[in-house]
Amino acid sequence: MASATFGLGGHGLLIAPVCPCRAMVTVDNDLVIAHDEREMARITLGERSASADPTWHTPQRGQFGDGGPTIALADGVAFEDVCLMINAGIGESPWVALGPGLVHDLPPGVILLAAAPDDEDPMYELHLEGGFNEFIRLVLRDESAATVQVRVAPDQQLLAKDVFKVQEGGGGLRDVPYTEVSYEHEGAGWKQLMIVAPLRENTAIVVSAQARVEHSDALFKAAVQVAATLGPLG
């Protein structure tokens, strides 16, 4: 039976997609849901956030309230093929991914590869669009962020070990530690970025991104956005 292993939210919508699937935010801020390589649905923003369940103007096109986002289904695709549920009227946040007990921004330019319902590991990965083995992985650690140790492998060269600042809700700043390394794989230069982000008092997430040197800036920017916005769900 179809089920969701993650959620999508933002702009007044809360979406439980049929999994496995792929999801991506485009540079125009559209949300695309695909199965394999086929685009199944695209949500385009309107003048305001979603305020109501969709009114279907055609079998393939609906709108979430007056002036709200629109959803376009591919030819021959039914709503139930793509989404188990969409709730409207859920705030005005940017596009976010909701994983097992966590939530974070879904940056443009990366593709979320969702797990299948029967996969042993329910966590998704964020892959660089057009990349091969260039992705962001979220690794749960059952310890506080302050005690997580990131070690450099013998075949890696340390490039940086520092912190970046994240704005907190109360207006203050907090330090988020990161480690950046370089290495060679099959004759090509690669980089890896490992960011330790707190989730709860005794739980941390290591946001680990790896990419070829020429693609690392784009993927690392997305990884920093994920780590800076990551927080507990509920």
Cβ atoms of 6 and 71 closer than 8 Å: no
To the question of domain 135-232 being in CATH 3.50.50.60, the answer is no
Supply the pLDDT for residue 91: 86
Q: How far apart, in whole angstroms, are the C-alpha atoms of residue 90 and residue 12?
A: 4
156, two tokens: 């890696």
Q: Name the residue type at position 219.
A: L
Supply the pLDDT for residue 162: 96
Q: How many residues does this entry show for the chain?
A: 234
For the chain, count helices (H), then strands (E): 2, 19
Supply the pLDDT for residue 131: 79
Task: Compute φ and ψ for 221, nearest 5 degrees.
Answer: -60, -40
| CA proximity to 183, closest of 173, 197, 195, 193 | 193
Supply the pLDDT for residue 1: 43
Q: How far apart, in whole angstroms, are the C-alpha atoms of residue 164 and residue 175?
A: 6
Q: How far apart, in whole angstroms, are the C-alpha atoms of residue 95 and residue 108?
A: 9
pTM: 0.94
For the chain, residues with pLDDT lower than 70 are 1-2
Burial, 10: exposed, middle or buried (Cβ in 10 Å; 0-12, 13-18, 19+)? Answer: buried
Tens digit of each residue's pLDDT (9 = 90 or more) over 46-76: 999 999 999 999 999 999 999 999 999 999 9
Burial, 211: exposed, middle or buried (Cβ in 10 Å; 0-12, 13-18, 19+)? Answer: buried
3-state secondary structure of 97: strand
Supply the pLDDT for residue 216: 97
Provide the 8-state DSSP code for 95. Answer: -
Domain ranges in the chain are 7-102, 135-232
Supply the pLDDT for residue 2: 62
